[in-house]
């Protein structure tokens, strides 16, 4: 607007039309700390002309809303681009919605939550602006480059067209009953696990068995992603093994990686708890190969490329309603890992694609999370009712994992037994139940391998090529240009 008005000398109406026609807003998260609000006092000093223009945009917008709708003043103040109290701030999401011709979420559930909850009043005003484009990942990086052995096996059977035309990967589904092929399939997974085991041995000196389930939870650390729920399950398994040394556990290696924001105290503390639990579990002779826990440092794309091809189980266990899409979930399924997950983000659409019998779903639904919170959620009810859960919480509180630093994990206990905003205790029982199902299924090697193959075969929807084409068609209104390439 500033360039068009001040430098190109256009009228307000001409400039506004070009601006709205040009910009589209993709929302990537519903967590409030990510919906930016910029202080007006700083804006005034640094960008005074822009601030004038924003005030004018807001004035025009609110005037039109008042003319066309009969919102209360309370709703009008929520719609305003300027937040008045406690201090004046510019709501960047509101500015984006008003100024763009399109607003989209990044998975079907997320786009619906934007319409029904987060931006509901805007949706009333601009119903046609709101769209969905489910995220995707590039198959070139996440299988062709990261998993060359699996890529070669696929190309041996169906040719290599699938690398350019990702939807053709579905053709490997015809080998789902081919015992010999499934053997080759599982051998590649085993080999990738061997490579990761060597890396873990050389970096951390820890021996992990490639016969164990590689149970992988790698992503940024945030309470809503619930790495802590996974830790509660790890301690549960530890207790079962300790209680009954002949307990017939399916061996597991639980792998974590991920960074926490520098000032996010409790997320850092959860990372520390993982290290502390790993210290106890990995050095207990009773446990042996039945359970190992490892935190791999310095998570980033290069590490993800190493770990994902070696994963058996993909942990996608966010509190329902909070993971906009997730893309890690897609990378794992593409590489033949089975998902244990909640009905959140793109997990819902992954289930639709691979089939309910080829994914492990548990936990509250997004609307159940909201209902339970509204009706007065009390985590203590679960603590009182579920003995295995109570024991795990008591162990963390009782410094079993922190003998040298008593009390250090108290903030985690206070969070779980206080509001437990992310409802770990409410989902614990169902999570453990489905993890037991995972362990049983893993023992049926033919069944697991077939499920693994079907995940890879049916994941083509989550190609970024498909996502980009949808942006081009439905949001940018552009058509592909044919380019001649010399071969
Ligand atoms: C894919 C990816 C993510 C996103 O993972 P989610 O599980 O969807 O949160 C984050 N970081 C890296 C390095 C990734 O490769």
Ligand 1 pocket test: which of 327, 339, 344, 462 has the largest number of ligand atoms within 8 Å of its C-beta? 327
Q: State yes or no: pLDDT of 88 exceeds 80.
A: yes
The residue whose CA has the least distance to atom 7 of ligand 1 is: 328
CB 93 within 8 A of CB 35: yes
Residue list, ligand 1 pocket, CB within 6 Å: 219-220, 299-301, 304, 326-328, 331
pLDDT at residue 33, rounded to an integer: 80
> pLDDT tens digits for 380-402?
999 999 999 999 999 999 999 99
What is the residue with the minimal CA distance to atom 14 of ligand 1?
301
Triad 93, 99, 101: Cα angle to 5°: 105
* Domains of the chain by residue range: 2-132, 139-469
Give residue 241 CA to ligand 1 midpoint distance, Å. 32
Under DSSP, the state recorded for 83 is E
Q: How far is CA 11 from CA 20, 52, 100, 165, in A?
A: 14, 16, 18, 46
Q: What would the two tokens of residue 119 be?
A: 């931006």
pLDDT at 487 over 80: no
**121, two tokens:** 């009043």
Per the DSSP assignment, residues forming a β-bridge with 366 are none
Domain 139-469: give its CATH architecture: 3-Layer(aba) Sandwich (3.40)
Please compute the mean of the pLDDT values over residues 238-262 and round it to a whole number.
95
**What is the distance in A from the centroid of ligand 1 to the CA of 392?**
29
**DSSP 3-state of 207:** coil
Spatial strand order in the sheet of 291-296: 291-296, 252-257, 213-218, 313-316, 338-341, 360-361
The DSSP symbol for 251 reads P
> Ligand 1, from 107, 142, 220: best to mutate by most atoms within 8 Å of Cβ?
220
Active-site residue (options: 89, 115, 331, 458):
331
Per-residue pLDDT reduced to its tens digit, 284-327: 999 999 999 999 999 999 999 999 999 999 999 999 999 999 99
Distances (CA, A) of 10 to 5, 162, 441: 5, 49, 66
**Residue 76: which H helix or E strand, with range?**
helix 73-79
> Choosing from 220, 240, 447, 466, which is the catalytic residue?
220
Residue 439 has pLDDT above 80, yes or no: yes
Q: What's the confidence (pLDDT) of residue 34? A: 81
In the annotation, is 331 catalytic?
Answer: yes
pLDDT at residue 123 in the model: 98
pLDDT, tens only, 19-72: 999 999 999 999 988 889 999 999 999 999 999 999 999 999 999 999 999 999
Distance CA 55, CA 188 (A): 60
Structure tokens at 292: 């190992």
Where residue 246 falls among pLDDT bands split at 50, 70, 90? confident
The full DSSP string for 268-327 is HHHHHHHHHHHHHHHT-TTTGGGEEEEEESS-SHHHHHHHGGG-SEEEE-PPTT--S--S
The stretch 94-104 carries a mean pLDDT of: 98
| pLDDT at res. 251 | 98
86 prior amide bond cis, ω within 30: yes
Residue 458: the pLDDT is 98
Q: What's the gap in Å between 324 CA and the centre of ligand 1? A: 12
Q: Is 28 a catalytic residue?
A: yes
Active-site residue, selected from the candidate residues 131, 225, 226, 252: 225
Q: What is the percentage of the chain residues whose pLDDT exceeds 90?
A: 97
């Amino acid at each position: 607007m500033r360039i068009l008005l001040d430098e190109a000398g256009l009228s307000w109406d001409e400039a506004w039309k070009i601006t709205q026609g040009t910009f589209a807003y993709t929302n990537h998260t519903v967590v409030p700390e990510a919906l930016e609000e910029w202080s007006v006092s700083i804006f005034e000093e640094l960008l005074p002309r822009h601030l004038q223009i924003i005030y004018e945009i807001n004035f025009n917008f609110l005037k039109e809303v008042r003319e066309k709708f009969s919102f209360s003043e309370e709703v009008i103040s929520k719609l305003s681009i300027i937040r008045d109290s406690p201090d004046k701030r510019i709501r960047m999401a509101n500015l984006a919605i008003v100024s763009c011709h399109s607003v989209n979420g990044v998975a079907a559930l997320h786009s619906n939550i934007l319409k029904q909850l987060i931006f509901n009043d805007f949706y009333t005003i601009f119903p046609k602006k709101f769209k969905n484009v489910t995220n995707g990942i590039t198959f070139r990086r996440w299988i062709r480059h990261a998993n060359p052995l699996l890529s070669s096996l696929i190309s041996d059977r169906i040719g290599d067209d699938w690398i350019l035309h990702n939807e053709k990967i579905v053709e490997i589904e015809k080998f789902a009953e081919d015992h010999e092929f499934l053997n080759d399939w599982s051998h590649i997974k085993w080999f990738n696990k061997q490579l990761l085991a060597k890396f873990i041995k050389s970096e951390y000196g820890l021996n992990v068995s490639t016969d164990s389930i590689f149970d992988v939870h790698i992503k940024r650390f945030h309470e809503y992603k619930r790495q802590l729920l996974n830790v509660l399950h790890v301690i549960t398994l530890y207790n079962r093994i300790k209680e009954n040394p002949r307990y017939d556990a399916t061996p597991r290696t639980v792998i974590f990686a991920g960074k926490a924001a520098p000032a996010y105290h409790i997320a850092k503390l959860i990372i520390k708890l993982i290290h502390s639990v790993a210290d106890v579990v990995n050095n207990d002779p009773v446990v042996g190969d039945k359970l190992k826990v490892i935190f791999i440092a310095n998570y980033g794309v290069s590490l993800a490329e190493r770990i994902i091809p070696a994963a058996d189980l993909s942990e996608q266990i966010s509190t329902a309603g909070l993971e906009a899409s997730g893309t890690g979930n897609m990378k794992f399924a593409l590489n033949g890992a089975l998902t244990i997950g909640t009905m959140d983000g793109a997990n819902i659409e992954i289930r639709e694609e691979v089939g309910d019998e080829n994914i492990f779903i548990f936990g509250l639904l997004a609307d159940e999370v909201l209902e339970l919170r509204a009706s007065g959620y009390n985590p203590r009810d679960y603590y009182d009712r579920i003995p295995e859960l109570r024991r795990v919480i008591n162990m963390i509180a009782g410094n079993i994992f922190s003998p040298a630093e008593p009390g250090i994990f108290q903030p985690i206990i206070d969070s779980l037994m206080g509001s437990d905003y992310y409802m770990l205790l409410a989902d614990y029982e169902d999570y453990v139940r489905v993890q037991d199902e995972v362990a049983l299924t893993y023992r049926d090697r033919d069944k697991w391998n077939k499920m693994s193959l079907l995940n890879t075969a049916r994941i083509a929807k989550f190609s970024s090529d498909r996502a980009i084409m949808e942006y081009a068609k439905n949001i940018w209104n552009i058509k592909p240009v044919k380019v001649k390439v010399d071969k």
